[in-house]
Amino acid sequence: MIKTISVNRQARFIKPRIKELEILINDQTIGILEKNSVFRFKYISEKAPLLGLHYSDRAKIYQSLNLPYIFAQYFPEGFLETYLNSKYPFSDAPFQDDEMLRLAIFGRETLGRIRVRCSDPIFNEWIESLEQPSNLLNVQDLLGDLTEQNFDDYLNNILAKGRFVTVSGVQKKMSVATIGRNTKQSVAYIAKGFDKEKSPCLAANEYLCMKVAQRAGIRTAQTSLSTDSSILLVKRFDIDNNGDFLGMEDFTSLRDWSASEKYMGSYASLCNIIREVSSNPNENLLQFFSQLACTCLLKNGDAHLKNFSVLYRSEEDVRLAPAYDILDTSIYAVGNNGVHEVYDDKLALSLTNKHGRRYPTKKALLQFGEQYCGVDPDEGSYIIERIQEAKETVYEENRDVLVQNQWLAQKWEVDIEEDDLEFGM
């Protein structure tokens, strides 16, 4: 007797893979990324603009088993990764859900100047079928009317259906665009929301820490705080005055490391990379020392490899990016030992391979500056004093923010007078 075998015809259908993607720099096609057994990138011309600082040989075919980190750095992590995995319709795509599909989606809009385009008409028909809500907003609307609820609603709308720029980090982050008067492109901002239960006052924390760095003379990204102190708006610094996008690579990409390795290495190794790639290493090492000193004095324990970047137009024009993502992490508990809350009062990376992750003394920081950054100890002391003075000035000038964020004021031991509270109400 012949046994009947039932066949699920739908289960036999295997979606095709995306095998080729077009790579663009400021709307100019520069090369092709292919995926068969390995990833292969090749330039279309020896005069093509630079893909990345590890890709200077235009005649070479670059091969790797894994997705090249120049592209992997644009994949979301933290909140965005979790949210997109649960909400974005990857499974509805007419192609297999793999790195090439996700790069085709995420690469349409990125931080920096790299864009990715899939020429397959089936992919384009599918992606265009998704509702595309406008994400052009007025900055004043963002700052004046934006609240935590409005931000969450907007975030859900854009992430679920719209075009978006993926932004790394564990918190809620979203790229939004506003019409700029003097630019060819829209002026873009990163809007950052936070979990007020797990990380109270985090937007105000980062806003004030960035103000301290700026007041101390450190080049920083421009920031603004919403009226209810729930949302931080950061102006993107990868767009020049002409509206062109600059090349941008974080230090995981510069080290050819994955995002999961962002807490590996030392700040000394970053100095070596800056010295190797920067067009003006002395100036950029001084800038890096200033950022590191600010990291230590403000207790920013999350200054990992992805929170330092370089900007460039070409191999001959590479510079350290402005400081960003500066905040005091030492005031947030990371766990509980059963009796007391536990705090991670350490650096994200070791100062040197011998130093460990503990915050350095002033003497050790000055020695680091002299040995690895070429900063004279007297100049290093002046930078440290300038940051300390900036803290006091910023706290005094922003008492209204501290009144609105009393938990933060208490953690920082900033006295809030009764008159301030009445004024704040």
pLDDT digits (tens, 9 = 90+) for 204-254: 999 999 999 999 999 999 999 988 888 888 988 998 888 888 999 999 999
Predicted pLDDT of residue 355: 79
Alpha carbon distance 139, 247 (integer Å): 25
SS3 breakdown of the chain: % helix, strand, coil, rounded to 5? 40, 15, 45
- On whether the CB atoms of residues 34 and 23 are closer than 8 A, the answer is no
Predicted pLDDT of residue 168: 60
Residue 78 DSSP SS3: helix
DSSP character for 37?
Answer: S
Banded model confidence at residue 398, pLDDT cuts 50, 70, 90:
very high
- Asked if the model's pLDDT at residue 176 lies above 80, the reply is no
Residues near 381 by Cβ (< 8 Å), separated by ≥ 6?
Answer: 362, 366
Banded model confidence at residue 148, pLDDT cuts 50, 70, 90:
low
Domain map of the chain by residue range?
Answer: 20-130, 246-412
Residue 22 pairs in a beta bridge with: 32, 117
What one-letter code names the amino acid at 205? Answer: N
- Asked if the model's pLDDT at residue 413 lies above 60, the reply is yes
Highest mean pLDDT among 167-181, 222-236, 376-390: 376-390
Of 405, 126, 70, whose CA–CA distance to 255 is shortest?
70
DSSP character for 53?
Answer: T
- On whether the CB atoms of residues 291 and 209 are closer than 8 A, the answer is no
Predicted pLDDT of residue 420: 43
Banded model confidence at residue 175, pLDDT cuts 50, 70, 90:
low
Of 343, 336, 330, whose CA–CA distance to 408 is shortest?
330
Give the mean pLDDT of the chain: 85
Instruction: Of 37-46, 130-139, 164-173, give the lowest mean pLDDT range.
Output: 130-139
Predicted pLDDT of residue 387: 98
Let me know if 174 is exposed, middle or buried by CB neighbors in 10 A (0-12, 13-18, 19+): buried
Return the percentage of the chain with pLDDT > 90, whole number.
Answer: 60
- Asked if the model's pLDDT at residue 422 lies above 60, the reply is no
CA 164 to chain centre: 14
Angstrom distances, CA of residue 317 to CA of 90, 233, 253, 288, 328 = 38, 28, 18, 17, 32
Q: What are phi and psi of 114, to 5 degrees?
A: -75, 135
Residue 10 DSSP SS3: helix
Per-residue DSSP letters for 384-414?
A: HHHHHHHHHHHHHHTHHHHHHTHHHHHHTT-
Banded model confidence at residue 36, pLDDT cuts 50, 70, 90:
very high
For residue 179 the two structure tokens come to: 């019409």
Of 404, 281, 289, 264, whose CA–CA distance to 348 is shortest?
264
- Asked if the model's pLDDT at residue 179 lies above 70, the reply is no
pLDDT digits (tens, 9 = 90+) for 286-314: 999 999 999 999 999 999 999 999 999 99
Predicted pLDDT of residue 184: 43
Alpha carbon distance 318, 226 (integer Å): 33
The CATH class that applies to domain 246-412 reads: mainly alpha
In total, the chain counts a number of residues equal to: 425
Alpha carbon distance 359, 342 (integer Å): 17
Banded model confidence at residue 383, pLDDT cuts 50, 70, 90:
very high
Owner of token pair 């790579």: 23
For residue 300 the two structure tokens come to: 């920013």
**Cα distance between the two ends of the chain:** 86
pLDDT digits (tens, 9 = 90+) for 87-127: 778 888 999 999 999 999 989 888 889 999 999 999 999 98
Where are the extended beta strands (E) located within 221-332? 223-225, 231-235, 247-250, 309-312, 318-320
Banded model confidence at residue 421, pLDDT cuts 50, 70, 90:
very low
Predicted pLDDT of residue 297: 97
- Write b or e for each residue in 54-86: b if 16 or more Cβ atoms lie within 10 A of its Cβ, otherwise e: bbeebeeebeeeebbbbbbbbbbbebbeebbee
